[in-house]
């Protein structure tokens, strides 16, 4: 019997380089990006056109992802930008080559 290992994601979206930032959590990053890119989710991300995936982290347990999200939402903007630019200095949409 195989035990399924779940993956959960903390992710950051933006609308442009150094633009508005959104931090979220999901168990299916591809599906979630499809929803964001097609504006299927009412609210903040749709209102501000946040469709560029610029950062994500993977977690085995949902509680860890949620804890990281809550913590990161308290961060200063500069800290979030530094985190993004450490791995993605050009703010490239990490989901741009995904097929939806």
Instruction: Indicate the pLDDT class of residue 1, thresholds 50, 70 and 90.
Output: low
- pTM of the shown model: 0.93
pLDDT at 94: 97
Give 2-61 pLDDT, tens digit per residue. 556 779 999 999 999 999 999 999 999 999 999 999 999 899 999 999 999 999 999 999
Domains of the chain and CATH, by start: 8-87 (3.40.1440.10)
Q: How far is CA 63 from CA 7, 26, 27, 74, in A?
A: 11, 11, 12, 17
Return the bridge partners of 81, or none: none
At residue 100, does pLDDT exceed 90?
no
Instruction: Indicate the pLDDT class of residue 99, thresholds 50, 70 and 90.
Output: confident
* Secondary structure, 3-state, 27-78: CCHHHHHHHHHCCCCCCHHHHCCCCEEEEEEEECCHHHHHHHHHHHHCCCHH
Q: How many residues does the chain have?
A: 100
């Amino acid at each position: 019997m195989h035990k399924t290992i779940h993956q959960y994601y903390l992710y950051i979206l933006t609308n442009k380089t150094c633009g508005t930032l959104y931090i979220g959590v999901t168990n299916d990053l591809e599906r979630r990006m499809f929803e964001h890119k097609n504006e299927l989710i009412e609210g903040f991300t749709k209102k501000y056109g946040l469709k560029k995936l610029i950062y994500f982290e993977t977690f085995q347990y949902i509680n860890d992802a949620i804890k990281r999200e809550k913590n990161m939402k308290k961060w200063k903007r500069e800290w979030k930008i530094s985190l993004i630019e450490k791995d993605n200095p050009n703010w490239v949409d990490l989901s741009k080559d995904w097929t939806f």
